[in-house]
Amino acid sequence: MVGRRRCRRTSSEAPASLLDNEDMLWEILLRLPSQPSSLLRASAVCKRWRRLVNDPQFLGHFRTHHRTPPLLGAFVCRRPHMATEFAPILGPTDCIPPERFDLGSCSKWPADRHLLDCRHGRVLVKDDLKHEVVVCDPIRGEHRRMSIPPVFKNTRAYIHGAVLCAAADDHDHVHGSCHSTSFKVALLSMYRQDRRPVACLYSSETDTWGNLITVVEPCEPPGFLIPVTLIGNVLYWSILEFDFDRQSLAMIKGPSGINKLHRFHIIIKTEDGGVGLAVLSTPRIRIWQRKVNCEGASTWLLQKTIGMNKILRISPRIKRNMGRLMGYDEDTDEICLHIYGSVYMVQLKSMQYRKLYKTNYYTNYYPFKSFYVSGDLSSLLLILHIGV
């Protein structure tokens, strides 16, 4: 007797029926990688997919699902006396047109244009000629200008700054898509005569600068050379601590013998969200953590020592002054350092690294992260042209 053969659904039919389900398709597309080409590739499949990935509600869920926006590249200055440029990090299919990151509109001449900070999808630039700061949104192609408070003219010193989303302390907020969210700008400088730091905070919600904040103690100029670190509601320029919620400015003491911070030191965020310090003494990096007791007294504890020569596979005989710390990414806990003419990003927990580019010029490194989701037809055609 010949038994009845079970009718099986072919493999080609199974996914088709799943993808016909709108909810299932939503969940599948939601889990695509956060790189710029992912949704553009999906939108090229058919009109139905294109309509879904361009739906504002879906895009909101897409950002919420991924939480951390992808690193698109960094703003760097590769050579002395040259304009700051954007260095893409992603592959060719994820590269965004470089003109989106052109800062030329911020000032007439490159010599008058100084990049101060880059965070939450925004870039802060100082226009020396007009004595203004400019907040740029490269993804939207928008910028906003603010006059620098007159008191900073009297400091006659270099002005440092930071830009951040106004919802920086909101754990439910997803950064990298803050285009319509209000922002804050902090400026910091130093009175040249007595070396007292002075800071001021701008809010886009009120379109005004707040009160000037200063400290009595003088500050060593080398402490200003590295980029700012944001931990909670506090900005750290080396040993200077600016709490923009409490509107307070203070100097913190580092570990014994490390109070004059410069390019060999940078404030980092510890695993528990506290304040840490990375100290580069080539070929080693020492990681310290600050502990504060109930009375407010702080002590520094050495957490670990990292042999960078083993991780980066470089000679252990490298001279101490051959390395520099160039920046830090608070979201990914990565430091950027320059050793032997090459720039590396090192993740402090996993110790994984990537070599970015070669240069003999020391400069600050400003990572730029954002969700780039565009329904622009020209972008879609570009992706299709290079071979989806």
The DSSP code sequence of 14-36 is HHHHHHHSHHHHHHHHHTS-SSH
Tell whether the model's pLDDT for residue 92 goes beyond 50. yes
Phi, psi of 7 (to 5 degrees): -80, 115
Q: Is 334 exposed, middle or buried (0-12, 13-18, 19+ CB in 10 A)?
A: buried
For residue 353, the Cα-to-chain-centroid distance in whole angstroms is 17
Residues 301 and 188 placed together within one structural domain of the fold: yes
Residues 286 and 159 placed together within one structural domain of the fold: yes
Residues 193 and 276 placed together within one structural domain of the fold: yes
Spatial CA neighbour of 360 closest among 115, 79, 82, 74: 79
d(CA 104, CA 113): 8
Phi, psi of 355 (to 5 degrees): -90, 125
Lowest mean pLDDT among 49-63, 94-108, 216-230, 346-360: 216-230
Residues 121 and 248 placed together within one structural domain of the fold: yes
d(CA 368, CA 178): 13
Residue 295's pLDDT is what? 81
Residue 7 within any structural domain of the chain = no
Q: What is the mean pLDDT of residues 202-212?
A: 94
Residue 386's pLDDT is what? 38
Residues 220 and 332 placed together within one structural domain of the fold: yes
Lowest mean pLDDT among 192-196, 201-205, 206-210: 192-196
pLDDT band at 171 (very low <50, low <70, confident <90, very high): low
Tell whether the model's pLDDT for residue 262 goes beyond 70. no
Tell whether the model's pLDDT for residue 285 goes beyond 50. yes
Percent of the chain exceeding pLDDT 70 equals 79
pLDDT band at 326 (very low <50, low <70, confident <90, very high): confident
d(CA 140, CA 350): 34
Residue 3 within any structural domain of the chain = no
d(CA 233, CA 169): 6
Residue 112's pLDDT is what? 77
Residues 23 and 81 placed together within one structural domain of the fold: no
Tell whether the model's pLDDT for residue 11 goes beyond 70. no
Tell whether the model's pLDDT for residue 221 goes beyond 80. no
Locate 307 and state its tokens: 């042999």
Tell whether the model's pLDDT for residue 365 goes beyond 90. no
Locate 369 and state its tokens: 């992260």
Tell whether the model's pLDDT for residue 1 goes beyond 80. no
d(CA 60, CA 50): 16
Residue 277's pLDDT is what? 92
Q: What is the mean pLDDT of residues 351-362?
A: 80
Residue 144 within any structural domain of the chain = yes
Residue 212's pLDDT is what? 92
Out of 162-176, 181-195, 197-211, the most confident range is: 197-211
For the stretch 178-202, pLDDT in tens is 656 789 999 998 887 777 889 999 9
Residue 2 within any structural domain of the chain = no
d(CA 46, CA 69): 26
Residue 145's pLDDT is what? 94
Residue 249's pLDDT is what? 92
Tell whether the model's pLDDT for residue 381 goes beyond 50. no
Lowest mean pLDDT among 30-34, 242-246, 277-281, 374-378: 374-378
Residue 387's pLDDT is what? 37
Which domain range does residue 307 map to? 71-369
Our CA dihedral for 80, 86, 90, 93, rounded to 10 degrees, sits at -130
Lowest mean pLDDT among 8-12, 130-134, 332-336: 8-12
Number of structural domains, the chain?
2
Residue 240's pLDDT is what? 86
For the stretch 291-304, pLDDT in tens is 988 887 889 999 99
Out of 8-17, 205-214, 230-239, the most confident range is: 205-214
More confident call, 285 vs 12: 285
Helix 22-30 and helix 56-66, axial crossing angle in degrees, nearest 10? 40
Question: Could you say which DSSP state residue 178 is in?
Answer: -
Give ∠ CA 123-101-127 in degrees, rounded to 5. 50
DSSP string of 90-103, one letter each residue = S-GGGPPPGGGG--
CB 249, CB 235: distance < 8 Å? no
Whether a cis peptide bond, with omega within 30° of 0, leads into 283 is: yes
d(CA 307, CA 154): 44
Residue 357's pLDDT is what? 78
Which H or E element spans position 190? strand 183-190
Residues 117 and 26 placed together within one structural domain of the fold: no
More confident call, 97 vs 236: 236
Residues 231 and 346 placed together within one structural domain of the fold: yes
Kindly report the pTM of this predicted structure. 0.82
Tell whether the model's pLDDT for residue 276 goes beyond 50. yes
Residues 289 and 178 placed together within one structural domain of the fold: yes
Residue 5 within any structural domain of the chain = no
Residues 179 and 49 placed together within one structural domain of the fold: no
Q: What is the mean pLDDT of residues 216-226?
A: 63
Residue 223 within any structural domain of the chain = yes
